[in-house]
Amino acid sequence: MEYHYYNKYAETMPRDLLRVQQSKALVNQAKVVYEKIPFYKKAFDDIGLKPEDIRDIGDIKKLPYTNKQDMRDNYPYDLFAVPMGDVVRIHASSGTTGKQTVVGYTRHDLDIWGEVMARTLGAGGVTAADIGHISYGWGLFTGGLGGGIGSETIGAATIPASVGNTKRQVTILQDFKPTFLLCTPSYALTIADYIEENKISVDTLSLKYGFFGAEPWTTQMKQEIERRLNLQSFDIYGLSEIIGPGVAYECEAHEGLHVAEDHFYIEIIDPDTGEDVKDGEYGEVVFTCLTKEALPLIRYRTHDISKKISEPCPCGRTHTRITKFAGRTDDMLIIRGVNVFPSQVEAVLMELGDMSPFYQIQVDREGNLDTLTVLVELTEAQFTSEIHDLEALKRKIGSAIQSMLGLAVTVRLVNPKTITRFEGKAQRVVDNRAVDFRAN
């Protein structure tokens, strides 16, 4: 098959050449952060490291890690390496606990963002002739403006639809005829629900591609979105601290996500020891911003879990592929000493077939014992008038989850649409334990 690219030269660059570029960039970045950011100067000095010690990309292991807490401690601007006169954009991510995480961009940084997001869209086949419908929030969150800058960089007509008001969104999808859609996977399903409930034929939409991210989703969910919205879907990954969406993206081979390695250096480490995991093993993803000016984070610990795919990709891109994200170290629930990722439960439900993708995990503590309850929305097709059919369904779900997690669970069937969802994201975990048992 023929694969599509936005910047074929950069995306298929031989790896030895890429390494030379990365080395040059890192040597420069080490000097910049030492000279311009007091936090890094202190971090270097504390371990007796001089910027001159960084001579090659391999020396990255000598550099200290950066944590989310460091961003909070330097709130709002103390990690910026440039004066405010050079900053042209500020975004912030919602801090559910504590302060927001504030990020800044120079004009050059916005160019990089446009470039990597254009690569993301281009990898799916989007060209200047397309029309893009961006249903991420356009605001402090990087999803909307990040999708927009990529869409505009590639030259597509860009509709800043933003979030909410599904009825109006569907009218835009029908009338403005966008050919690609960016939103969360659960919002894509909300759109699919809406058009089915209102007997709107998917043929009245012109969507060819969908780029979905900002929350974990499974392969099964992907297939469901593709079937119901009649489009080809692509996983996108990013985080505001690094740049926003565009850090890694799926190509038409649909086997993992390519990291834009000429801009973001990736390491995968054991979250407990900080050492590299063996190739092909799951670990915490760590990124270094090689080319960014305003917020050049070094070895930033994302808390996202993934692994590298070592085989070369049939699409010809040389940039490292990582698998779909398996969860977050901080979404990880520890229940009776067992690590549980919400995405595991979702995968089980989707594998069982004919299940609602909406579920909620509730963790409670009875006496000294953690209990795990999974709420699953009942579908029309599953409901007969017979108690024993529903009991059998509960047992089937319960034993499938139990064999995946190695934990006994209680399954509760609930009516459709009763699990809390905001426009976009479903609330997947409710932890009622008094003590915070989440991993750090």
Partner 1 sequence: MVLKQLSIFVENRPGAIAEPLGVLLEAGVNAVAFTVADTTDFGIIRMIVDDTDKAVRGLKNSGFTVNVSDVLGLTLEDKPGAFYHALKELSDANVNIEYSYAFCGPKTGEVTAVLRVPDINSVEFILK
Contact residues for partner 1, defined by CB under 8 A: 378-380, 383-387, 390-391, 412-418
* Beta carbons of 113 and 89 less than 8 angstroms apart: no
Phi-psi group of 32: left, alpha or beta (phi > 0 → left; psi -120 to 50 → alpha; rest → beta): alpha
Strands (E), 76-219: 87-93, 101-106, 131-134, 157-159, 180-183, 209-212
Beta bridge mates, 259:
248
223 or 384, CB closer to partner 1? Answer: 384
Least distance to partner 1 from the beta carbon of 224, Å?
19
Closer residue to partner 1 (CB): 46 or 380:
380
Residue 406 vs 416, nearer CB to partner 1 = 416
The least CB distance from residue 393 to partner 1, in Å, is 11
User: Measured from the CB of residue 382, what is the shortest distance to partner 1 in angstroms?
Assistant: 8
In the complex with partner 1, the residue whose CB is nearer, 1 or 381, is 381
> Is residue 378 a contact partner of residue 356, using CB atoms and an 8 Å limit?
yes
Beta strands in 163-313 (DSSP E): 180-183, 209-212, 232-239, 244-250, 257-259, 264-269, 283-289, 300-306, 308-309
CB of 49 to partner 1, least distance (A): 58
Nearer to partner 1, 164 or 416 (CB): 416
Residues of the chain by 3-state class (helix, strand, coil), percent to 5: 35, 25, 40
Coil, strand or helix at 242: coil
Provide the 8-state DSSP code for 164.
S
Q: What gap in Å lies between CA 39 and CA 37, rounded to an integer?
A: 5
Q: How far is the CB of 389 from partner 1 (least distance, A)?
A: 10
The distance of closest approach from Cβ of residue 391 to partner 1 in the complex, given in angstroms and rounded to an integer, is: 7
Strand pairing report for 283-289 and 369-377 = unpaired
> How far apart are CB 294 and partner 1 at their closest, in Å?
47
Q: Which is nearer to partner 1, 347 or 376 (CB)?
A: 376
Q: Least distance to partner 1 from the beta carbon of 116, Å?
A: 42
Pairing of strands 232-239, 244-250: antiparallel
The DSSP bridge partners found for residue 301 are 286
Phi/psi of residue 119, each to 5°?
-60, -40
Nearer to partner 1, 166 or 323 (CB): 166
Residue 67 CA to its chain's centroid (Å): 18
Residue indicated by tokens 């004919």: 354
Amino acid at 16: D
Nearer to partner 1, 92 or 419 (CB): 419
